[in-house]
Amino acid sequence: MSAPQPLSRREFLHYLWLASLASVTAGTGGAVLWYATPRLSPKELEGGIRIDLAEIPEPDAGPKHFANGQFWLINIGPKNVADLRHPEGFTTRPGLIAAHPLCTHMHCNYKWVPTNDRFECPCHGAKFLPDGTRIGGPARRNLDQFAIHAILPEQNPFIETYRRTSEDEATLGQPLVLPPETTQIVVDTKKVIRGRFNNVPGVA
């Protein structure tokens, strides 16, 4: 049996070129898949308030105050969607909202008043529907909100993210519809979604 012949310089360079091409192709394909899939890394979620599904209020139930993160979690349901107190041109949809705890007028802490089914500010009388829509008082904007992220199973760190999907004023601040496979949500108190301007007199 004859000994194997050493590679010539030309053969060595040929194989090296093929190996480099394969590496670049694999890297490019990986990069395409990486950027084509929306995600946040666990590092980007640090500091967010993680909430189990059992802690989320039922649709149309009263909002739940989370003192550790200083926000109100509201689950908008059919009753809230059909609320006739919405000013003309202001609509909502079912889903979750994490409302900032301060009134958009003079930044007082507003309160939930279940008998009136609305938020009311004790300082100057601003009033807001469960979805944050301003319906009375001196405030001129709807309630601000915090970003919400829905974590999906077997896909961490892939997540469905609360985003401003349009620059159209009517679509800003809409509730997050949770995908059925959601296992947990994260409220990011570092990301504030500014409440829509609302100067409609509404209901006092």
Q: Degrees (nearest 5) of the Cα angle 105, 186, 133?
A: 30
Distance CA 18, CA 27 (A): 14
Percent of the chain having pLDDT more than 90?
Answer: 44
**Tokens representing residue 18 in the block:** 């093929």
Q: Which residue in 27, 9, 30 sits closest to 19, CA to CA?
A: 27
| In contact, 129 and 156? CB cutoff 8 Å | no
| Averaged pLDDT of the chain | 77
| pLDDT at residue 27 greater than cutoff 90 | no
What's the CATH number for 42-193? Answer: 2.102.10.10
| pLDDT at residue 97 greater than cutoff 50 | yes
Place of tokens 């550790």: 68
- Segment 119-165, tens digit of pLDDT: 999 999 999 999 999 999 999 999 999 988 888 876 554 555 555 44
Better-scored residue on pLDDT, 51 or 26:
51
Q: Which residue in 70, 38, 82 sits closest to 145, CA to CA?
A: 70
